[in-house]
Every structure is written in structure tokens, then in C-alpha cells.
Structure 1
Amino acid sequence: MSKASDFIDALRRIETDGNVEPMAALFGPDAELSNPAITRPLHGQDGARNFWRSYRHTFGEVRSEFRCVVESECASFLEWTSRGTLSHGAAFSYDGVSVIEHPAGAITRFKSYFDPKALGLQLEHAA
């Protein structure tokens, strides 16, 4: 399996049953994780656990669909749309791109790009 496929499979586990361990296992000890919604990057497998737990707890239900996946030996680029419901039941949808660097197999850097304002407005309207 490719690193992108491993990542997508692990994300499915998080989205369906909240299990972050398969995802955390993909990250190296010095990995860096970030996105526009967090103020400073998280690091390592513990950082990955915290990052993905926080992601899952933001939503009541969530499912990501991948439109375009490009992969090389060192990195993967995934274009996605995530849809579902917020914890209060309101529907949401947002788009983004994730860059996953994995030069030696384990993920060394994960960065997601999306418009936090668009997602934030959906979160505000649900409150």
C-alpha cells in the first residue's frame, strides 16, 4: 500500500470510530503537524494523537472524500472535502489540501491548508 492509502485508511478509522492509534503509528518521533486552526505545530506521535483527537471531537459525524491524490517517494498531496454534522447536529462542509512528507517511510511533516474562516462561520452558526 502507498503512504497516501495508509493515511486515508487511518483517517477513516478516526472518522468512524475515533481510533487515533493507526494514524499516530504513521508518524515519526520528530514529526510536525499543523493547520491554519492551531497556533503552533504539534510534534511526534503524541502530537499526532492530540491533533487527530481534536479533529474528531470538533464534529458529531465527519467523512472526508478525496478528489485528487498525488504521491511521490517523499511526499503525498491530498485534495479533499470533509462533510458531516457538528456536535449540535448542524451540517457542515469544507475543502482543503493536505501535504504529507514521508521521505524515510514515517510521516515527518503533515500540513493541512483550508480556509479556517469558512469552517469557523459554520461552527459559529451551529452554536
Structure 2
Amino acid sequence: MANLTETFMQALQTAEETRDVSPLVALFAPASTLQNLTSRTWEGEDGAREFWETYLGNFGAIRSEFTRHADTGEYGVMEWDAQGELKTGHPIAYRGTSIIEHDGQQVKAFRTYYDSAAFVQPEAQAQ
């Protein structure tokens, strides 16, 4: 039987493939929080939907491959590599780590840390 971290990883890959974030959002508790490298915090199921739709909206295509993961029953940690292309058509590859806090049934908090430099094009390529 899959733990919540494994269920989360599968739901994210499905959302990346189908662009439907509903099954992923369904994993989040009503009072959940989501954070990335920005200073903003998204809250609740509506915040989760906005977070994931915004994330996917950055890409023409994206696929996360999980290289390591662990689940303690309260925390899940996932290391991943993502490859795809931005909406502009430029290829992108970056890696990061995501952490979920959960109760075994729903995600209470999601935090993700990644190589944001991958999103910045060198000036020579931007022309």
C-alpha cells in the first residue's frame, strides 16, 4: 500500500501529464499551506489549486522524476529532477526537494526548494 508521499508523487506526475490538478488538489487539507522560493504563501484548497495551476502554467511540458523519497508518517521528503520546456519553447531542466507535512490522509503543508537559476536565460540566449 502506498504512503501519502508516494500518492502525492503519482498525483503530481499525473497532473503534469494531463494538466488536470484536481486529483493533486484533493490531497490537500482545507487549512493547508503551500510555499516555494517566493515570499508568498498559498492557503487552503483554493490556494492549492492556484499554486499548481500557476506552476503548470509556466511550462509547455514538464515531467518530474523522483530520485529519492521517504515518509515518516507525518513528513514526506522528495528529491526530484524535472525536465521539459517553458511556455516560450525553451528547454528547461532543474532539480529540487519538496517536503510535505501530513496526517497520513491529507497534506497539511507543502514546501518546495529548487534551482531557480534554471528559469533565468543567459543574455546571449535571450536575444
- 1:7 and 1:126 map into 2 onto residues whose CA distance is 35
Identity percentage of aligned residues: 36
Aligned-CA RMSD value: 1.8
TM-score, with structure 2 as normaliser? 0.90
Partner of 1:105: 105
Partner of 1:65: 65
- 1:72 and 1:89 map into 2 onto residues whose CA distance is 39
- 2:111 and 2:30 map into 1 onto residues whose CA distance is 16
Q: Which runs of 5+ in 1 are unaligned?
A: none
Bigger Rg over Cα: 2
Q: Give a deviation string over 1:33-66, Cα, whole Å, max 9, x none.
A: 0000x33100011111000000101000100011
TM-score, with structure 1 as normaliser? 0.90
Q: How does 1:11-26 map to 2 (within 5 A)?
A: 11-26=12-27
Structure 1 position 8, deviation (Å):
1.2
How many residue pairs get matched? 125
For 1:52, what is the secondary structure of its paired residue?
A: helix
Structure 1 position 101, deviation (Å):
0.5
For 1:51, what is the secondary structure of its paired residue?
A: helix
Q: Which runs of 5+ in 2 are unaligned?
A: none
For 1:19, what is the secondary structure of its paired residue?
A: coil
- 2:79 and 2:54 map into 1 onto residues whose CA distance is 21
Structure 1 position 5, deviation (Å):
1.6
